[in-house]
Amino acid sequence: MLSFAIPIVDGKVNVQFPQKCVYCGKPQEFTVGVVASRSSGTQYYRQYSSITLDVPYCSEHVNKAKRLGLILNIIFFLCLLISCATSIMISFALDLQDVFQICVLGPGLALIFAVLTGSIGVRKVWGFFNDEIRDLPSFFGQGHLGIKVMMGNEQVGIAFTNEEIGHEFARLNKLSPMPISE
């Protein structure tokens, strides 16, 4: 995976992508807005900043990314529903009277279970057999199929799963690959 650090100048990133799908290299048919964002500050004052990159894709991979994202969201939602229903049944079975245990602890544990099972677990198992799932950004990551982005204070990190496209991106923008610091 090739990664690049691009400086932020006046709240914008000036980069040019090859006129090819960033995932497979076919001719560009669509552009997808990929958002890099971050928040900073204290608990009382938060400052949010974001940058949108127009990333080229072929129609096959735009549709595939939408379909896979929808499937993963449905799996996550079903795991969350099953977890909440299970926690409510357990609270009734144990005859819990405490509001904290019923309203906070149960759904909280259900959410943790849904995130671990419905998103991370399914991605790892399914990603073992499917390249597209593996190349989507992680549950907490930013990006799109074949590209991952991370925003810092003064730069945006971009990583490509297709090294050929990454090299062409470097040539167009006169960049050299470098590690992205978190």
pLDDT tens by residue, 21-55: 988 889 999 888 888 887 777 778 877 888 888 88
Residue located via tokens 């992205």? 180
Residue 179 above 70 pLDDT?
no
Q: Where are the alpha helices (DSSP H) in 119-176?
A: 122-129, 131-135, 163-173
Q: What is the model's pLDDT at position 120?
A: 66
Overall pTM > 0.75: no
Q: Tally Cβ neighbours within 10 Å of residue 65.
A: 19
Overall size of the chain counted in residues = 182
User: Which two structure tokens, joined as six digits, stand for 114?
Assistant: 């849904």
Chain centroid, CA 44 distance in Å? 27
Distance CA 149, CA 123 (A): 19
Q: How confident is the model over 103-116, as pLDDT tens digits?
A: 666 667 767 766 66
Residue located via tokens 């080229």? 56
Q: How confident is the model over 81-92, as pLDDT tens digits?
A: 777 777 777 767
Q: What is the model's pLDDT at position 39?
A: 77
Residue 181 above 60 pLDDT?
no
Domain boundaries along the sequence of the chain: 1-175
Distance CA 128, CA 133 (A): 8
User: If 0-12 CB within 10 Å is exposed, 13-18 middle and 19+ buried, where does residue 96 land?
Assistant: middle
Q: Give which of 143, 156, 147 is closest to 182, Cα–Cα.
A: 156
